[in-house]
Chains A and B, each alone.
Chain A
Amino acid sequence: MNFLSALPPGWPMIVGGVFLWLLPKRAQAGGALSLAILSGLLFWFTPVLGEGESAKTFSMLGAELQPIRIDSLSRPFGLVFHIAAVVSAIYALHVRDTRQHIAGMVYAGGAIGACCAGDLMTLFVFWELTAISSVFLVWASDTPAAYRAGMRYLIVQVGSGVLLLTGAIIQYVETGSLKFELFVSEGQTLFGDNSISPAAWCVLFAFAIKCAFPLLHNWLQDSYPKATVTGTVFLSAFTTKLAVYSLARGFAGFDPLITVGCVMTLFPIIFAVIENDLRRVLAYSLNNQLGFMVVGVGIGTELAINGTVAHAFCHIIYKSLLFMSVGAVLFRVGTAKATELGGLHKSMPWTTAFCMIGAGAISGFPLLSGFVSKSMIISAAGEEHMFGVWIVLLIASAGVMEHSGIKIPFFAFFAHDSGKRVKEAPWNMLLAMSIAAFSCIALGIAYPLLYRLLPFDVDYHPYTITHVVTQLQLLLFAALAFVALMKSGLYPAEQRAVNLDTDWFYRRLIPKVTRGGQVAIELVDQTFRHDFLLTLRSVLRMIQRSFNVNGWIGQTWSTSTMAFWAATLLAISLVLYYT
Chain B
Amino acid sequence: MSHNPPSDPSWFERPQNIQRMIIGLVVVCVLLVFANLFYENPHPHFGKVETFFGFQAWFGFIAFVAVVFLGTLLRPLIKKPEGYYDPEPENEFPRLDRPEDNHPGDEA
- Give every chain B residue within 8 A of A475 (Cβ-Cβ): 60
Closest to B40 in A: A466
- Give every chain B residue within 8 A of A144 (Cβ-Cβ): 86, 88, 91
Decide if A52 is an interface residue (CB 8 Å cutoff). no
Closest to A497 in B: B79
* A474 touches which of B4, B56, B107 (Cβ 8 Å): B56
Q: Are A330 and B96 neighbours in the complex by a CB distance under 8 Å?
A: yes
* A270 touches which of B42, B67, B92, B94 (Cβ 8 Å): B67
Interface of chain B residues 11 through 68 with chain A (CB within 8 A): 12-13, 22, 25-26, 28-29, 32-33, 35-36, 39, 41-42, 45-46, 49, 54-68
A418 to B5 CA separation, bound complex (whole angstroms)? 9
Majority secondary structure of chain A interface residues (helix, strand, loop or mixed): helix
Whether A24 touches B108, Cβ cut-off 8 Å, given contacts A141-B94, A398-B60, A476-B29, is: yes
Q: Are A497 and B63 neighbours in the complex by a CB distance under 8 Å?
A: no
Type the 1/0 row for A165-194, where 1 means its CB is closer than 8 Å to any CB of B.
000000000000000000000000000000
Q: Are B106 and A473 neighbours in the complex by a CB distance under 8 Å?
A: no
Decide if A128 is an interface residue (CB 8 Å cutoff). no
* A473 touches which of B32, B75, B96, B108 (Cβ 8 Å): B32
Q: Are A395 and B67 neighbours in the complex by a CB distance under 8 Å?
A: yes
Type the 1/0 row for A472-492, where 1 means its CB is closer than 8 Å to any CB of B.
111111111111110000111
Decide if A230 is an interface residue (CB 8 Å cutoff). yes
* B61 touches which of A94, A346, A481 (Cβ 8 Å): A481
- How many interface residues does chain A have, given as a range? 35 or more
Q: Are B68 and A492 neighbours in the complex by a CB distance under 8 Å?
A: yes
Q: Are A334 and B29 neighbours in the complex by a CB distance under 8 Å?
A: no
- Give every chain A residue within 8 A of B9 (Cβ-Cβ): 417
- Give every chain B residue within 8 A of A333 (Cβ-Cβ): 1
Stretch at the interface among A381-389, A547-555, A557-565: A381-389
A480 to B96 CA separation, bound complex (whole angstroms)? 37
A335 to B55 CA separation, bound complex (whole angstroms)? 40
Q: Are A478 and B97 neighbours in the complex by a CB distance under 8 Å?
A: no
Closest to B78 in A: A500
- How many interface residues does chain B have, given as a range? 35 or more
A95 to B106 CA separation, bound complex (whole angstroms)? 11
Q: How many A-B residue pairs have CB under 8 A?
A: 221
A346 to B26 CA separation, bound complex (whole angstroms)? 26
Stretch at the interface among A221-229, A303-311, A525-533: A221-229
A146 to B95 CA separation, bound complex (whole angstroms)? 10
Decide if A390 is an interface residue (CB 8 Å cutoff). yes
Q: Are B63 and A94 neighbours in the complex by a CB distance under 8 Å?
A: no
- Give every chain A residue within 8 A of B36 (Cβ-Cβ): 469
Closest to B86 in A: A145
Decide if A96 is an interface residue (CB 8 Å cutoff). yes
A406 to B68 CA separation, bound complex (whole angstroms)? 12
Type the 1/0 row for A223-248, where 1 means its CB is closer than 8 Å to any CB of B.
00011111000000000000000000
- Give every chain B residue within 8 A of A492 (Cβ-Cβ): 68, 71-72, 75
A495 to B76 CA separation, bound complex (whole angstroms)? 12
Min Cβ gap B60→A in Å is 4
Min Cβ gap B86→A in Å is 5
Closest to A507 in B: B85
Whether A480 touches B29, Cβ cut-off 8 Å, given contacts A343-B6, A500-B78, is: yes
- Give every chain A residue within 8 A of B97 (Cβ-Cβ): 94-97, 100, 228-230, 331
Min Cβ gap A277→B in Å is 9
Stretch at the interface among A79-87, A113-121, A419-427: A419-427
Min Cβ gap B30→A in Å is 10
Q: Are A477 and B57 neighbours in the complex by a CB distance under 8 Å?
A: yes
Type the 1/0 row for A14-51, where 1 means its CB is closer than 8 Å to any CB of B.
00000000001110000000000000000000000000
A38 to B35 CA separation, bound complex (whole angstroms)? 50
Q: Are A469 and B35 neighbours in the complex by a CB distance under 8 Å?
A: yes
Min Cβ gap B83→A in Å is 8
Q: Are B72 and A274 neighbours in the complex by a CB distance under 8 Å?
A: yes
A143 to B84 CA separation, bound complex (whole angstroms)? 16
- Give every chain A residue within 8 A of B56 (Cβ-Cβ): 394, 470-471, 473-474, 477
- Give every chain B residue within 8 A of A270 (Cβ-Cβ): 67, 70-71, 74
Q: Are A501 and B78 neighbours in the complex by a CB distance under 8 Å?
A: yes
- Give every chain B residue within 8 A of A24 (Cβ-Cβ): 108
Q: Are B79 and A499 neighbours in the complex by a CB distance under 8 Å?
A: yes
Whether A335 touches B93, Cβ cut-off 8 Å, given contacts A421-B1, A474-B59, is: yes
Min Cβ gap A266→B in Å is 9
Closest to A272 in B: B71
- Give every chain B residue within 8 A of A420 (Cβ-Cβ): 1, 3
* B95 touches which of A26, A142, A422, A465 (Cβ 8 Å): A142
Q: Are B82 and A476 neighbours in the complex by a CB distance under 8 Å?
A: no
Closest to A94 in B: B99
- Give every chain B residue within 8 A of A479 (Cβ-Cβ): 25
Whether A465 touches B92, Cβ cut-off 8 Å, given contacts A230-B97, A476-B28, is: no
Whether A398 touches B64, Cβ cut-off 8 Å, given contacts A227-B94, A345-B10, A420-B3, is: yes
Give the residue among A26, A145, A397, A508 with the most B Cβ atoms within 10 A.
A145
- Give every chain B residue within 8 A of A485 (Cβ-Cβ): 65, 68
Q: Are B6 and A469 neighbours in the complex by a CB distance under 8 Å?
A: no
Q: Are B3 and A419 neighbours in the complex by a CB distance under 8 Å?
A: yes
Decide if A204 is an interface residue (CB 8 Å cutoff). no
- Give every chain A residue within 8 A of B33 (Cβ-Cβ): 473
Q: Are A97 and B106 neighbours in the complex by a CB distance under 8 Å?
A: yes
Min Cβ gap B5→A in Å is 6
List the 8 shortest-distance A-B pairs measured between CB atoms, nearest first: A273-B71, A25-B108, A382-B45, A417-B6, A141-B94, A398-B63, A474-B60, A481-B64
Residues of B that sit less than 8 Å from A by CB: 1-6, 8-10, 12-13, 22, 25-26, 28-29, 32-33, 35-36, 39, 41-42, 45-46, 49, 54-68, 70-72, 74-75, 78-86, 88, 90-99, 103, 106-108
Residues of A that sit less than 8 Å from B by CB: 24-26, 94-97, 100, 140-146, 226-230, 269-274, 330-335, 343, 345-346, 379, 382-383, 385, 387, 390, 394-395, 397-399, 401-402, 414, 416-422, 426, 464-466, 469-485, 490-492, 495-501, 507-508
Query: 17 pairs across A/B with beta carbons < 8 Å?
Result: A96-B97, A226-B94, A269-B67, A270-B70, A274-B74, A334-B96, A385-B45, A402-B64, A414-B13, A419-B3, A469-B39, A472-B32, A477-B29, A477-B58, A485-B65, A498-B83, A500-B78
